[in-house]
Structure 1
């Protein structure tokens, strides 16, 4: 993830590098600027809106949005408690939207989709749902603290029809821990908030690498099984 450096004036208005033009700036810097502007306009609710959007669009990094909420709170626009409250509420709202998508898709639609895909089988969906029914609680709670999965974990929870109260409780608890780490980092580090984003990037790269390795192994195993079946036929 690209390093981001942002300096704020006492009024919380973003001060861009160079002549003030946005040319040449990273999209993460623009995202940080937009997040601060949103929170300046509508207060802590803006932090909740921003983190809800982060849940719906995983490429938006919470490692940028959350420290901005802490930084804005440190400047006195709202309290640290309000930053934590609204970012957690935003996380839960965004997660429930994806949960609803999972409920709408359902195991039946996913099984039909898997049946049409060359390397997937309907039984893969059944095994996934069965696994989630056994371990879904831990998956949702800890998944809220893993980049990328923190958003996507809500979809299989909906497919498996996890009870709403349980999903909401686990999502809220996991989100509160994750949000607190990054909001506090922004609150305590101030304009050096980007330091925590750099370390969070390492975790994100590890997750992406693990997903890539897992996907490669799945494709290798499935192709190998398919070739063996054709050979025996």
Structure 2
């Protein structure tokens, strides 16, 4: 995966449209059922944010591409489990990651519908919670609200953290902890909102 990330960074200067497509694809795979357990999405997102801070990419398009990929992955995982979950749960890939499935079940039992929101920010169960929500036949409308809101906030926080803090990777890691989650969201939203209004006034 690291080699793929390095190759991506080497190409984006020449193919910016392709870069946004890759951002979408990585965000999708990082959140998709079980596959996401193999992809270091947090590192990728923060690194892309750092590149945007240096003007290589446009941060607004980065957030849109990443958030859209994450949201669609949640929806795909949810409906996959809702329609075929009982058959898939006995497959080899599900059995291989049974501890994460069990952890996801416990998390869902403790937090109910909000688990879809909070699970977005916990790496090891992020790709599992939407699948479990589908297995447990969560109401689709309610799931979509949590998935869309958390997906947008995830994009703002993780790409935005890299964008705000630049090359200070230790600071990014510290602020991306659960304790600083809300503070990061407020800081990033405030900064991007300010820049957006400046751009409107300038135009």
Same fold by TM-score greater than 0.5 = yes
Q: Which residue of the partner structure matches residue 146 of structure 2?
A: 170
Answering whether residue 40 of structure 2 is matched by residue 61 of structure 1, we say yes
Q: Which residue of the partner structure matches residue 65 of structure 2?
A: 86
Deviates more, 1:36-45 or 1:53-62: 36-45
Answering whether residue 22 of structure 2 is matched by residue 46 of structure 1, we say yes
1:179 is aligned, of 149, 155, 161, to 155
- Runs of 5+ unmatched residues, structure 2: 96-101, 179-203
- Runs of 5+ unmatched residues, structure 1: 1-26, 118-124, 204-233
Q: Which residue of the partner structure matches residue 206 of structure 1?
A: none
Instruction: Verify the 8 A CA contact 1:54 1:60 in the aligned structure 2.
Output: yes
Q: Which residue of the partner structure matches residue 220 of structure 1?
A: none
Aligned residue pairs, count = 161
Task: Note the aligned Cα RMSD (angstroms).
Answer: 3.4
Deviates more, 1:188-197 or 1:46-55: 188-197
Structure 1 residue ranges (4+ consecutive) displaced by more than 6 angstroms after TM superposition? none
Q: Which residue of the partner structure matches residue 9 of structure 2?
A: 36
The 2-side partners of 1:39 and 1:150 are apart by 27
Instruction: Verify the 8 A CA contact 2:8 2:19 in the aligned structure 1.
Output: no
The 2-side partners of 1:90 and 1:184 are apart by 16
Answering whether residue 46 of structure 2 is matched by residue 70 of structure 1, we say no
Instruction: Verify the 8 A CA contact 2:78 2:131 in the aligned structure 1.
Output: yes
Q: Which residue of the partner structure matches residue 105 of structure 1?
A: 84
- Larger radius of gyration between Structure 1 and Structure 2: 1
Q: Which residue of the partner structure matches residue 160 of structure 1?
A: 136
Tell me the CA shift for residue 182 of structure 1: 1.9
For the residue of structure 2 that corresponds to 1:191, the secondary structure is coil
TM-score (norm 2): 0.63
TM-score (norm 1): 0.56
Tell me the CA shift for residue 62 of structure 1: 1.8
The 2-side partners of 1:51 and 1:44 are apart by 11
Tell me the CA shift for residue 170 of structure 1: 0.6
Deviates more, 1:162-171 or 1:36-45: 36-45
